[in-house]
């Protein structure tokens, strides 16, 4: 379980990301990952940050790591599907979406939403 300090830093990372402060969000996110390398949400958020920064390959790698750490997180798979579509990999993106919808048929939120 993540410490309070880690959770607070992860919340600040998300806040900076949503505010468009990608450089600060990236630095904070990496601090969380360095302190807690098993934190799936930190890897996922880092993947979103890299996607926004125009680094889809690194984004894909980080979101895949998040999924390996927590395969039940449907939103990780939804966001990976968006990244894969961006990287011209529609077949794998479709498979992820089908898998995701089998688990949560009402899930529609992604980083692009």
Considering only CA atoms, which of 110, 99, 5, 109 is closest in space to residue 52? 110
Segment 11-28, tens digit of pLDDT: 999 999 999 999 999 999
Structure confidence at residue 107 (pLDDT): 59
DSSP 81-92: HHHHHHTT-HHH
Compute the radius of gyration of the chain from its Cα atoms. Answer: 14
pLDDT band at 112 (very low <50, low <70, confident <90, very high): very low
Q: Are 29 and 46 in contact (CB under 8 A)?
A: yes
Which residues lie closer than 8 Å to 52 by C-beta, 6 or more apart?
17, 22, 111
As a whole number, the mean pLDDT across the chain is 91
Token reading at 102: 């089998």
Mean pLDDT score, 89-94: 94
């Amino acid at each position: 379980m993540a410490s309070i300090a880690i959770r607070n830093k992860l919340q600040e990372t998300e806040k900076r990301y949503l505010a468009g402060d990608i450089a600060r969000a990236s630095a904070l996110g990496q601090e969380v990952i360095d302190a807690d390398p098993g934190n799936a949400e930190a890897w996922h958020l880092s993947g979103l940050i890299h996607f926004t920064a125009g680094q889809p390959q690194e984004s894909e790698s980080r979101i895949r790591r998040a999924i390996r750490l927590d395969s039940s997180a449907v939103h990780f798979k939804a966001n990976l599907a968006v990244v894969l579509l961006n990287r011209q990999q529609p077949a794998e993106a479709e498979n992820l979406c089908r898998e995701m919808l089998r688990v949560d048929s009402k899930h529609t939120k992604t980083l692009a939403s």
